[in-house]
Structure 1
C-alpha cells in the first residue's frame, strides 16, 4: 500500500535576500554540488566577472560589491536553484513553482523551462543590464497592521498619495510589486524622494531599497528593449513542473508556448507590476499544497508569504498570531534559508 507524498509549492526569492548574514551560504550549504558551482564560476570567468565562489567565500561582504545587480542576482539565483534541487530530489511532490520578482528567473530553471546554466545566463544578463542602467529606485511601505491584519484604508491612503504626487508634480511613480502586506513602489528619483517624504513614518518604513532600480515599471523600457536583443535565443524548453507568474497566470508543462513564455519574461514581466500576492494565492488555490517551501538565501520572504496566506484566508489563518500558532503545530511554511 503506497503512502501519499506531501504536496508542496516552491517559491523562489528575489533581490535583497543575499546580505551579510548570507555571505558564505553556497559554501556552507552546497559544497556537495561543486560540479554545478564550477560551471557557474566558469561562466562568470568567461564574462570577466568575479566568480560566485569568490563573491560568496573569499571577498568580504560589502553592499558595494555583492549588492550590485550583476553580482547579487547570480548569487541569489545560485543559492535558490541549488536549494530547489535539494527539494526536488527529496520526498515532497512539488506541484508548482513561483517566485518574487527576480525569483521568476529562478522559477524558470527550477521548473525545468531553462537548464541551470541558461538560467544563470538570463539572470546575469538582466542583473548586469539593470545595474548599468539603474533607472529610478524602489521604496517599500506596509499596509497591514502590526498583527498582519489587512488595513484597506491604509492601502488606499498609500495609493492616493502616489496618485497625488504624479498628478501635482509629474513624478513617475508606480506600483512595482504587490508583496503580501507590503507595497513596493517604483519610480524616478524625484518621485521616490517625494514619496519617502509624504508617507507617514512607521518604524523603518518608508524603506528605500539600495542598488534597486524601478523594476516592473514602464521606466524599464530601455532594459526591456536591450534584453530582448541580447536574449533573443534564450533556450526555453518544455517545463517539467507548472509555474505561476507575476500575473497569477499558470504555465503548464502540457500546453506552454515557449514563444509566449519568452515574450512574457522579457516583456510584461520587466515593465509591468509584479503581483506576488496573486501568484501565491493562485498557487495555493489551484494546487492545494500541504506545505509551502521557500528557497534561500535568507528568510525575508517568509513574512510576505504568511501575509499572502492571510489574504487568501488559507486554513483559516487570519493574523500573525494565527500564523505563528499554525507554524508551532507543524510548519506550513518552511524557509530553506533558515540556518
Structure 2
C-alpha cells in the first residue's frame, strides 16, 4: 500500500557534532553522487564534502561556516531523499531557508549537480560577505499553542528597533512557534536586551549566520544572479512549495520566474516556513511529513506549524506527541528510529 508524503528539506544549523560522518554512515552506496559533489569542490579549491564528513574532529567555528555547512547539508539531505522506501510517494517538496535550494533538486527543478552548484555558490557568498547575523526567539509557549498576540508584540518591537538610527532588524524566518530575526549588531543587541530570557537559552544567536532573508542580503542576491544561470532551472517533477506558500506545479511553472524568486525574493525577503508546511497539509493531505537529515531540529517547527493549523485535531504538543506514538505523522530521517519507518 502506497504512503503519500510531503518531503521537507532542512536549512543551516542542522549538521552538528552528532551528524559528523552522516554520509559515511548512511550513504556509502552513493559514491557516484558524492564524487560529483567532491569534484566541484576540488575544482573550486575547497575541501571535498566526503573529507569534511569523514573528519575525526568537529569544531563549531569550521562546520558552521556557510561554505562548509551548506554543501554538507545539501549532500546529506539529497542522498536521504533518494533513500526512501519504495512504497512512499512524494506528493510535494518544500524546505526551510537554505532547504529551498535542496527542495529544488529533490523535486527535479535542478539537477543534483546544479543544485550543488547553487548551494555551494550561495553558501560561499554568504560566508565571504557575512552581512549581519541571526537570532531565534519563541512566541509560542511550551505547549506549542499559538499565541498571535505575543507574536504581534514581538514583531512590533522588531519594527520599533528597526526604526532607530543605525539599527537594522527584521523577521527572517517564520518558523513554527519561533521567530528567526536578522539584522546588524545594533539591531540584534537591542532586541536581546528588550526581551526576557526564555527556557534559559533564548534569545539565541546563531553562529556564522548572516542576516538571511532580509534586504541586507541584496549584494549576495545580485552576485548569485550574476553567477548562476536561469538555464539551470527546469520544470519540477513534483509540486514545490516555496517560502511564501506558493506552489510551483510540474509542467506549469515559469522557470525564469523560479530562478528570479530563488535568487531574489527568497534571499532578501522573509521566509514563511510555517505557511509552507500548512500549505502542504491543506493542499496535499499527506500520510506523512518526512524531514530529510541531517539533524532532527526541524521536527519541532513542523509539529508547531501543524498544531497552529489544528491539523487532524492536533491542538497542542501533548496531542502531537500522542499522535506520534500511536500513528506517526512525522518522520525525521536524522533520527534512527524514525528513519527506519521510511527507508528501504
Q: Same fold (TM over 0.5)?
A: yes
Partner of 1:149: 145
Partner of 1:109: 105
Structure 1: gaps spanning 5 or more residues? none
Partner of 1:273: 270
| 1:283 counterpart = 2:280 | yes
How far apart are residue 38 of structure 1 and its match? 1.2
Q: 1:320 aligns with which of 297, 313, 317?
A: 317
Residue 64 of structure 1 aligns to a residue in which SS?
Answer: helix
How far apart are residue 169 of structure 1 and its match? 4.0
Find the aligned partners of 2:185 and 2:223 in 1 and give their Cα distance: 22
User: Which stretch of structure 1 is more off in the superposition, 78-87 or 162-171?
Assistant: 162-171
Trace 1:1-339 onto structure 2 (pairs within 5 A): 3=1, 5-58=2-55, 60-87=57-84, 90-203=86-199, 204-339=201-336
Measured on the aligned residues, the alpha-carbon RMSD in Å equals 1.1
What number of residue pairs does the alignment pair up? 335
Post-superposition CA distance 1:93-122 (Å, at most 9, x none): 110000000000000000001111111000
Residue 60 of structure 2 aligns to a residue in which SS?
Answer: coil
Find the aligned partners of 1:207 and 1:298 in 2 and give their Cα distance: 18
How far apart are residue 152 of structure 1 and its match? 2.0
Q: Cα gap change, 1:311/1:238 in structure 2, threshold over 3 Å: closer, same or farther?
A: same
How far apart are residue 174 of structure 1 and its match? 0.6
Does structure 2 retain, via aligned residues, the 8 Å contact 1:161–1:199?
Answer: no
Find the aligned partners of 2:196 and 2:204 in 1 and give their Cα distance: 11
Find the aligned partners of 2:41 and 2:231 in 1 and give their Cα distance: 18
User: Which stretch of structure 1 is more off in the superposition, 89-98 or 315-324?
Assistant: 89-98
TM-score by length of 2: 0.95
Find the aligned partners of 1:252 and 1:214 in 2 and give their Cα distance: 30
How far apart are residue 90 of structure 1 and its match? 2.3
Structure 2: gaps spanning 5 or more residues? 337-344
Residue 176 of structure 1 aligns to a residue in which SS?
Answer: strand
